[in-house]
Amino acid sequence: MSIRIVGTGSALPERKVTNEEIAELVDTSDEWIRERTGIGSRYVSTKETVASLAADACVRALRQAGREAEEVQLLLVATCTPEDALPCMACQVQEKIGAVNAVAFDVNAACAGFLFALNTAWAYIASGIYENALIVGSEVLSKMIDWNDRGTCILFGDGAGAVMVEKCTQGGVLGFVQHSDGKKGAVLTCGSRQLNNLYVKSSEGESYVQMDGREVFSFAVKQIPLTIQQALEKAALAVGDVDLFVLHQANKRIIDGIARRLGVDISRFPMNLDRVGNTSSAAIPLLLDELNREGRIEKGQIIVLSGFGAGLACGACVMEW
Ligand code: COA
């Protein structure tokens, strides 16, 4: 028993922000950002929330799958930027789309979050507990960014991507691996609420994303080719069998480096980071939805998904479309 994707959907905020606009805020340039990252623009929320973007993406995925919200049994939201601590984003999305029969909860594995949620859904469905799941990666990272820090504010964007998955007996997910390395957690952080209670009075203010860009870069370029190889081994496939590598859209140079290490032509690594930036857990399903709607994925093709980010965490999934 496995799972296959039967519908995809995505949503972006209305407001697009170009590199030139960012260069008005910090000492940078369109040329520098494009050369070092491949990013040309991103979307920034003015009114959209994690829950509203997620709900829009879910509705589109359901429509494409030809399913009603009431049919959804498991609803997972992958996010590291929830607006509220309670209730979880998944329950808010459940309410917005009317998925009244679903069990709903959030998964946070930062930029690997969508993959970890997909694997969670696979485990529930393969063990027979549920028959379908709606999985959405949704982020409003713009509220966690220090817009004075040119090392990070150039990278991230807001958005959501969703997939509807159902149990299947042929094809679908063929192999999966996940890794977490908490020892390297300090490389990419964003502090949250301070301890402030009867006994402790916190004096610290809000905190924003902090990153050692070079460490993250080298982790991704070294670890992701190995992780993809491990997932392919589980699927009894080789790199040459893969039609498309749909990777987390962090940085074009990272993707170029991974392609080189795997010995695969870059044309098999579709990208949309030039238009949307790094949208963390939304990146993989957002790109998948674009490819699917443009008819760039054909039935029977072998697709590798791979995500990586804060934790440090990473994963890869091999599937037959
Ligand atoms: N514009 C112009 N100059 C910038 C800049 C910007 N936006 N950001 C940094 N610089 C400067 C630095 O201050 C430094 O100047 P110095 O040499 O005078 O000290 C110089 O550019 C080189 O900085 P460095 O940090 O070494 O650049 P880099 O080549 O490593 O590129 C990143 C920086 C962030 C683009 C790169 O490290 C990266 O993409 N890392 C991965 C980040 C990522 O994807 N994170 C999310 C993973 S989920």
Q: Is the CB of 187 under 6 A from ligand 1?
A: no
Residue nearest to atom 21 of ligand 1 (CA): 151
At 59-85, the pLDDT tens digits run 999 999 999 999 999 999 999 999 999
Cβ of 40 less than 6 Å from ligand 1: no
8 Å CB contact between 62 and 9? yes
Ranges of residues in the chain with a pLDDT under 50 are none
The reply to whether ligand 1 has any atom less than 6 angstroms from the CB of 214 is: yes
The catalytic residue among 108, 251, 278, 292 is 278
Distance 147 CA to ligand 1 centre (A): 15
pLDDT of res. 290: 98
Query: Which tokens in the block code for residue 105?
Result: 């909860």
Q: Catalytic: 248?
A: yes
Backbone phi, psi, residue 204, to 5°: -80, 145
Q: What are phi and psi of 120, to 5 degrees?
A: -60, -45
Residue 206 has a pLDDT of 75
- Give the pLDDT score at 196: 76
Residue with CA at minimum distance from ligand 1 atom 37? 213
111 is catalytic: yes
The three-state secondary structure class of 137 is strand
Backbone angles phi, psi at 292, to 5 degrees: -65, -45
- With a CB cutoff of 8 Å and minimum separation 6, the contacts of 211 are 151, 152, 187, 188, 189
For the Cβ of 281 lying below 6 angstroms from any atom of ligand 1, the answer is no
- The helix/strand/coil state of 122 is helix
Ligand 1 centroid to Cα of residue 142, in Å, is 18
Q: The whole model's pTM is what?
A: 0.96
3-state secondary structure of 104: strand
> Does the N-terminal peptide bond of residue 87 adopt cis geometry, omega within 30 degrees of 0?
yes
